[in-house]
Every structure is written in C-alpha cells, then in structure tokens.
Chains A and B, each alone.
Chain A
Amino acid sequence: MSQNDPNKATGAIRFDKAGITYPNGVVGMKDLDLEITPGEFVVIVGSSGAGKSTLLRAVNGLNALTSGSVEIDGERVATHSNRELRRMRKRIGMIFQDFRLVKRLSVMSNVLIGRLAHVPGWRAMLNFWPAADREIAIDALKRVGIADKAWVKASQLSGGQQQRVGIARALAQQPAIILADEPVASLDPVTTHQIMRDLVRINRELGITTLVNLHFLDLAREYGDRIIGLRFGELVYDGSAKTVTDEDFRNIYGRDFTEDDLLEEEV
C-alpha cells in the first residue's frame, strides 16, 4: 500500500501501451508508453486535437482506456468499479481552463468541494464540515494568496482569482497528482505568468506530480521541466524543456510555428 506510506513519495504515473479510441472511431491516444516519476513537472504540448486532454483525463479515469493500462503508484486506474475510481480520484486534483467553480457559492464552499471524498457523505450533504477540513481549505487558499477572499462569492472574482480558487480546490484534496488542462488559456498574459509561477511553486513546495497542458510554446519552455509532445494521439517528443529546439516543436506540430503559438508576440 504505497499510497498510505507517508515516507514513500507518491504520484508516479505509468502508461503501458495505453490507447483510447472514442465511440465515434477517433483515436485519442495510441500505444502510449510513458513513465512519470513522483514530483515531476511535466508540460504536454501538441496542436489542437493532438490528444492532450485525452491524456490528462486518462490519469483520473474521466476517459477510460480502450487498450493497455495506466497505473498510479503501481495501482491500475479502475475502469468499472466506481468505488475504486473514487478512491483514486480523491488524491488527484484537476484544474480546468474554464475554472469550473460553483459561481453562486462562496470561495470557501468551492474549495471545500476538494474535500468531498475525504469526509463522510452526510457531512458534505448538510454542509457540516469538520474543523480539520475547513483548516485544510483555508491553508489551500493561503497557499495561493487569496485567503482574504474566503467568504466572497466566486462569481465576483477576476479570472486569475477564480483560477486560484480552482488551484486551491485541487490543493484541498491533498493530492499526489495535479492535472491542469490549459489552466491559463482564458487568462491575460500577466495573470498567465502568475498562475504558471503558482503551479511551479506548489510543485516545488509540496512535491505534487504536476501535468500541465499548454498550447503556448514559450510558456512550455519557460515553466516545464520535462516536455511531452503529442501528435495524432501519439507520443512524438519526450525530453527536457532546457534542450527542446525549435526543430522539435516543428516536428510536434507538423508545421512551422507562428506568433499564434507564442504568448509574447515575437518569433
């Protein structure tokens, strides 16, 4: 039970000949072999439809594999047991492009959603959260610097602040892994850098394995440790962000890249 051993680093992900063919016949992932070690910060790039989201969503079982396997800390991600799936998802945080907050509820209530799977069902249902879980939620908010907004309605926050709530919700899960699907795609450049720095800092401070989908190449280069390139659902690049070349990017995208692929407008 590596998951319950506090001394052992958790958050290892391993894809083994993994494939996903959608019901409509589209191949979202093809023969993927990939190993990610605990605490890594991995950026996934690829053009639209390359299978970035498919890969992330395979880790927490939102997309079920149709072949091969994906394991977390040696344990296979369940495909049919809901209970098993919930137990694994409990420790996997996810951050979305569109934040996905309950807009009419307070920031605090939104962050507590990260504790849903950690407390008895009746407590969540009656909004009767244990003090310890509230404490965890507050800590998560502090870590992204918006503890002062705890009682503000989520809809009243700016985009950057909403994404921080999204990160805090993931942190409240006390996750071994964080999956971020284009977390900065709906933010302005300044906020984009702040959020990326937050994600890197959290990865360093807490050692949470972090997978981030990005479509800006300069961001991938700046913030990634390791870059994974996908094309038509296949792994076409896997290497250090420090040594990735423009030629590599051309290969991943299957074309010359343009200003649209960069956050800062210079090629």
Chain B
Amino acid sequence: MNVPARPPRNWMLLAGVTGLLVAMTVWSAYGIGFSLTEILCNIAGGTRLITESWPPDFGFLPRLAEPMLETVFIAVIGTVVGGILAIPVAVLAARNITPNKLTWFADRNFMNILRTLPDLFWAMLFATAVGFGPVAGALALTVFTVAVISKLWSESLESIDMGLPETIRAVGGTWFQMIQFGAIPQAVQHYVSYALYAFELNIRASVVLGLVGAGGIGMILETQRANFEYERVTMIILAVLVAVLIIEEISESIRKRLA
C-alpha cells in the first residue's frame, strides 16, 4: 500500500498565529510600561546592589538553622494535612467514580475556587483568623496542597481501568469499598508522586509566605532586606537554594524508585 502524500502545511495559519503572538507581546509590554531604555539607564543601580551583596555573610549562617527548620515544618504540615484532605476532594471530582453528578459538580467548583485563589490570599485570610505566624502559613499551605493534589490526582483517577472497580461491585462491595480496593490501588503511585511535588512547591511557598510574616526563613530574609544587610540576604538566598536543591533531589529519587 502506498503512503499518501503528506498534506501541505497551512502557511497562512502559521503566519497568523505568529503575528498574533508578536502583537500580543508588544501590546502587553506597552501596557505595563516595559521599556528597554529605562532598564538600561537603571542598570547602574543594579550593579551597586550586586557589589554590596557580595561576599555572603557566612557568620550569619548559624542563626539560620532554626528559621529554616520552621520553614520546612510549615511545608511538612501543609503537605501532610493537605495531602490527606485532597483524597476525598479528588475522588469526588473524578467523573468515573463519583457517587453522583451533583456531588461531582459541587466538588469540581469547590476545587476550582481553591485553585483560583493564590496561596498568599489564604495566608492573609488565615492571618486575620489566627494572627500572623507559622500557623497561618501552615493553614494556607494546607489549602494550597489540597488544590494542587486534588486537581492532578482526580485526573489520574479518571484514567484508571474501570474493570477492577466493577469487580468490587460484583462481589457485593459498597461504593466506599469500590474506591478503596478498586480505584485507589491503581493510582497510588501518582498520588505519592503528586504529594512529593506539592511538598517541593510548599517549601518555596513557605519561604514566600515568610516574607509577609508567616515566620521561618522568609521572615528573616525580609527583615535583613529591610535593614539593607545585603550580604546576609545573599547568605539566606544561598541557604534556601541549597535546601531546596537537597529536597528536590530526595523527592526526585523517591519518585524514580516508584516508577
């Protein structure tokens, strides 16, 4: 059998899409007042900042241990609590195993609302309830984790083979048993992988939340910056960088082992 001739490329479409992208970029840059000349003029200020930030103040390092640990704790709490709460949210949002359309619809929207609002918003919200500090940070990350894991995992659950859940039904199992024995075992690996991914995001988010007062390393970073202690700021950034790299390395190796 002959392979049919390759269909011609649609040059018009290609040109149109490229043109549209360029136009949108230019328009956006104009809209936010982005100007190359201005950046070039201000570059002197930037170089001064860089020279003042070097070398990093290694003497400051010992004082970072405790806030760094706090940052990790906030991330751990957010990941564990959020990871557990994400399970029912994801299950009810998976079209193939949700008990009924209404539940699915309600849960879908709930999930979308969680996802639309940024972690900073949740931090502010919880701060007004429990005061600024690590607890508000952990609560914010809990919500953030539910949003991340439930969305990704509900999609994994939707792609499972429905044979096993049906088998659980066939032996007289309940809906809950169908979930526990038929659906979840097929998506456990994905769950662990997403939870680790959420943890990585949470470490970074935990630093950012610290900037606005949720405690941990971010808070130190912000105070030092406000005091123009740029050599200490560099030290903190280096420490965060190393910590994030280590954690990503560990989580990556766990994920590889699972695959």
Query: Which residues of A pack against B, CB within 8 Å?
Result: 60, 62, 85-90, 92-94, 96, 98, 100-105, 113-114, 116-117, 121, 124-125, 169, 173
Contact = CB atoms under 8 A, between A and B. Distances in A.
B188 A113 contact: no
A127 to B, nearest CB: 10
A255 to B, nearest CB: 28
A234 to B, nearest CB: 25
A96 B177 contact: no
B170 A89 contact: yes
Q: Please give me the 7 A-B residue pairs with the lowest Cβ-Cβ distance, nearest first.
A: A117-B172, A89-B172, A90-B172, A86-B172, A100-B167, A116-B173, A94-B170
Given A102-B164, A102-B185, A116-B177, A90 B170 contact: no
A49 to B, nearest CB: 19
A86 B181 contact: no
Contact of A89 (B164, B169, B176, B185): B169
B163 interface: yes
B170 A60 contact: yes
Given A104-B188, A105-B185, A125-B180, A86 B173 contact: yes
Given A101-B164, A114-B171, A125-B176, 7 more contacts: A87-B172, A89-B169, A93-B171, A100-B163, A117-B173, A121-B177, A125-B180
B112 interface: no
Nearest to A114: B171
A213 to B, nearest CB: 15
Contacts of A92: 170
A72 to B, nearest CB: 13
A98 B163 contact: yes
Interface string B191-205: 000000000000000
Nearest to B165: A100
Interface in B58-72: none
B159 interface: no
Contacts of B167: 94, 96, 100, 113
A103 B188 CA distance: 12
A175 to B, nearest CB: 9
B171 A90 contact: yes
Contact of A121 (B163, B169, B170, B176): B176
B170 A116 contact: no
A94 B166 CA distance: 11
Contacts of A86: 172-174
A169 B185 CA distance: 17
B169 A116 contact: no
B170 A62 contact: yes
Given A60-B170, A104-B188, A121-B176, A113 B181 contact: yes
18 contacts: A60-B170, A62-B170, A85-B172, A89-B170, A89-B171, A90-B171, A92-B170, A93-B171, A94-B171, A96-B163, A98-B163, A100-B164, A102-B182, A104-B185, A113-B181, A116-B173, A116-B177, A173-B172
Contacts of B166: 62, 100
Contacts of A93: 171
B156 to A, nearest CB: 15
B168 interface: yes
Residue from B171, B176, B180, B188 whose CB has the most chain A CB atoms within 10 Å: B171
A95 to B, nearest CB: 10
Contacts of B168: 113, 116
Nearest to A118: B172
A94 B163 CA distance: 12
Contacts of B174: 86, 121
Contacts of A104: 185, 188
A18 B172 CA distance: 23
Nearest to B182: A102
B170 to A, nearest CB: 5
A96 B164 CA distance: 10
A184 B181 CA distance: 24
Nearest to A115: B171
A87 B182 CA distance: 19
A173 B163 CA distance: 19
Nearest to B172: A117
